[in-house]
Amino acid sequence: MSKKFSKIAKLSAPEIRLTKPHDFDISHEEEYKGFKVTLPDEGRFKRDGIYIVQIMDKLLSFLMWLCARHNEVLIIRYDLYLSNSKIELKDLNTDLFKKLRKVKNPDTKELIFQDIQYVWARELGTHEANMGIHYHFTCGFRMPNRLKVKQITDRYQEIATKVLEDKTKVTLSDELKPYIKVNGYFLLKREMLSKEMAEQQAKDMVQQIATGEGYRYLRTNIIETRKKNEGKPIGGVLEECVYALSYLAKYVTKDYMRKGLKVYGSSSFRDKSNMLPTRKDQIDEFTVKIEKLFSEYNTKQE
């Protein structure tokens, strides 16, 4: 966490509520449909539950929707701190994604963020600004041609930061400025999604980490430095992706929230209304294939 937001939030009783058990389905399982999830610390957090099932459902739907439409998709994870700026999340999302959907590669003239979709989760942390409220996001889109991942993530952060700055309504001190930080990515290739291929991908990651060469499909330094799983891969690229995104679904930090605030949301996962019938048939065919590939990871009987 940035030192900008390191102070403890002070919440008064009228401003918080305990999320009612019937609001969500809370799971104590350490996996979701065969995919390992980020685990909370021991104690109350683990006792009360690990993740919100509805958010995990949304995250998998998000990944499958994209993979059914494109051979390669880039998944980005980022954090959003609105501080005390009075910016409304809905307005920010509307302006940001409207702008992103129009951005083109000046060399190829193709859209960079084609078919972009997103999922977000609101979290109650311990920092001072905005009563501790901040957000975790993931977005995904077709991997554009002739661009490196770093070029894309840098462009994304540049655009998002500009939109955020334009929407700031009050003068803030430098210590409490709202900001967006891209902190991870995953390049998912349709041909690499199978459980069988995941085993080889995990071996490749171990080798790449040992040699320090890096790995094209994700940031291995995140695997190396994480405390859980002893800095080793938990599986292939898809498994690592779901593991990272499951952080959005963790129950802790969502069990107490100011009344009336949504805990999570997403884009609509809808295609354009003028889609050709042949393209629709193609997507339907790939949707079945993608669902089958994802189901390979779930070895438990439903």
In a domain, 213, yes or no: no
264 near 59, Cβ under 8 Å? no
| Mean pLDDT computed over 260-270 | 91
Q: Examine the pLDDT at 16 and tell me if it is beyond 80.
A: no
pLDDT tens column, 169-179:
655 555 577 88
Residue 261 resides in a domain: yes
237-245 vs 195-211: helix axis angle to the nearest 10? 80
Q: Is 198 within a domain? A: no
d(CA 51, CA 29): 8
Residue 10 pLDDT greater than 60, yes or no: no
Looking at the chain, the whole-number percentage of residues with pLDDT higher than 90 is 64
Q: What is the structure's pLDDT at 186? A: 98
What DSSP element (H or E) covers 268?
A: none
- Statement: residue 64 has pLDDT above 60: yes
Domain that holds residue 149: 3-193+248-267
Q: What is the pLDDT of residue 299?
A: 86
Q: What is the pLDDT of residue 127?
A: 65
Give the residue-averaged pLDDT of 219-248: 92
- Domain of 95, CATH number, reads 3.30.70.60
Q: Is the pLDDT of residue 55 over 70?
A: yes
Instruction: Classify residue 127: in a domain, yes or no.
Output: yes
Q: Is the pLDDT of residue 13 over 50?
A: no
Does residue 11 belong to any structural domain of this protein?
yes
Q: Which two tokens stand for residue 59?
A: 């995250």
* Residue at 229 is within a domain: no
Lowest mean pLDDT among 19-23, 63-67, 200-204, 253-257: 19-23
Q: How many domains does the chain have?
A: 1
State which of 60-74, 170-184, 212-226 shows the largest mean pLDDT.
Answer: 60-74
- Residue 97 pLDDT greater than 80, yes or no: yes
Average pLDDT over residues 66-87: 92
Q: Is residue 129 part of a domain?
A: yes
Contacts of 14 (CB under 8 A, 6+ apart): none
Length of the chain in terms of residues written: 302
- Label residues 41-76 b or e (16+ Cβ within 10 Å = b): eeeebeeebbbbbebbebbbebbbbbbbbbebbbbb
Q: Of 56-70, 191-205, 258-272, which gets the smallest average pLDDT? A: 258-272
pLDDT greater than 70 at residue 42: no
Lowest mean pLDDT among 181-190, 211-220, 225-234, 241-250: 225-234
Report if residue 241 sits inside a domain.
no
Question: What's the chain's average pLDDT?
Answer: 86
Contacts 24+ apart (CB under 8 A), 271-278: 271/69
- What's residue 105's pLDDT? 95
Residue 18 predicted with pLDDT over 60: no
Beta-strand ranges (E) seen in the chain are: 17-18, 26-27, 31-32, 35-36, 51-52, 72-81, 117-124, 133-142, 179-189, 256-257, 264-266
